[in-house]
Amino acid sequence: MTQMPYNRLGRCGLQVSALSFGSWVTFGEQMDVGLAKDCLEIARAGGVNFFDNAEVYAGGASEQIMGRAIAELGWERHSYVVSTKLFWGIHGDVPNMSNTLNRKYLLQGIDRSLERFGLDFVDLLYCHRPDPNTPIEETVWAMSDIVSSGKALYWGTSEWSADEIRAAWEIAERHHLHKPVVEQPQYNLFETRKVEQEYARLYEDIGLGLTTWSPLASGLLSGKYIDGVPDGSRASLPGYEWLRELLTDESQNQKVRELMVIADRLEVSVAQLTIAWCAKNPNVSTVILGASSAAQVEENLGALVALERLSDDVVSEMNAIAKRR
């Protein structure tokens, strides 16, 4: 069996599995505690040590389900890395409790997340989006204080601009605070701008680590949408009409068909191939996988085989397909 590689999270000392497991959409909407346990157990058996979550996923239910599943599985706390994210809030349109990174929200938000998880601390805490209405300095102080309190071990950002990340890092440097160490952007063959262009200077300048999401472009790169939207898929869920339009784009699905030819040549699935393409980037610390079934977790972990077979020439071939208009 192919061994899971572990990478440092940017320049900090924390090691995370090259492939990780996230709960967006599935936990609480497609997955209960029992199925969550099955998925987590398979991921863990495959070498995954990092499990990603967020306050807003399923209105807090995702954190509860993951926390209960881990507790029932009896994992020792030192043996896994878990994250959550704060910004959107789950209390409706309440002042200071939604769409903000102000100090009040962050300090109360982490307490509520830990309560839902049933944990004393999370390993990683992200600012889920930038907040133009709160000074970055206020956010940096609050996040640093959370780390100092032991409720999170490291902090970072998700979908921030390079300028915002650099500003936060420089504020922390100036005031001797805990610096942001990680960014969580979308990254896949069809979405490369931030990771490959915008953040390029930050990897060397500040040692930024990446935990990337949506390696399959919301399922487009899995190949299962080339003939339409199958029943029971994420795109068939109420409220995901926007996703159906994206996944049934014929020009993009033609590219997926061409990628499937490469995958067949390497004797892997197109999903495994495109996940491996993300993990091949040396600036990516871990690729967060989503799954709605235990079988899907196992299938996605097969990307480790694809990673071993993925030469630079094949990467170039894939890039050429993806970039063609």
Question: Tens digits of per-residue pLDDT, 99-118?
Answer: 999 999 999 999 999 999 99
Q: Is the pLDDT of residue 33 over 70?
A: yes
CB neighbour class for 193 (10 Å; exposed up to 12, middle 13-18, buried from 19): exposed
Q: For residue range 157-207, what is the model confidence (pLDDT) as tens digits?
A: 999 999 999 999 999 999 999 999 999 999 999 999 999 999 999 999 999
Q: Is the pLDDT of residue 283 over 80?
A: yes
Write down the pLDDT at residue 245.
79
Residue 308, token pair as written in the block: 């071993």
Output the furthest CA–CA distance in the chain (Å, rounded): 55
Judge contact between 142 and 92, C-beta under 8 A.
Answer: no
DSSP secondary structure letters along 115-152: HHHT-S-EEEEEE-S--TTS-HHHHHHHHHHHHHHTSE
Write down the pLDDT at residue 24.
76
At residue 127's C-alpha, the angle toward residues 125 and 128, to 5°, is 110
Which is the catalytic residue, given 57, 105, 187, 199?
A: 57
SS3 label, residue 239: coil
How far is residue 129 from each of residues 115, 141, 218, 265, 311, measured CA to CA in Å?
22, 17, 19, 40, 35
Task: Provide mean pLDDT across the span 251-274.
Answer: 96
Domains (range + CATH), the chain: 6-220+283-291 (3.20.20.100)
pLDDT greater at residue 256 or residue 24: 256
Write down the pLDDT at residue 180.
98
* H helix or E strand, kind and range, residue 19: strand 19-22
Task: Provide mean pLDDT across the span 27-46.
Answer: 85
126 in catalytic set: no
Beta carbons within 8 Å of 270's beta carbon, 6+ residues apart: 221, 222, 223, 256, 259, 260, 263
Share of the chain above pLDDT 70, in %: 96
Q: Is the pLDDT of residue 29 over 90?
A: no
The model's pTM? 0.94
- The length of the chain in residues reads 325
Residue 286, token pair as written in the block: 């871990």
Q: Is the pLDDT of residue 322 over 90?
A: yes
Write down the pLDDT at residue 261.
97
**What mean pLDDT, rounded, does the chain reach?**
94
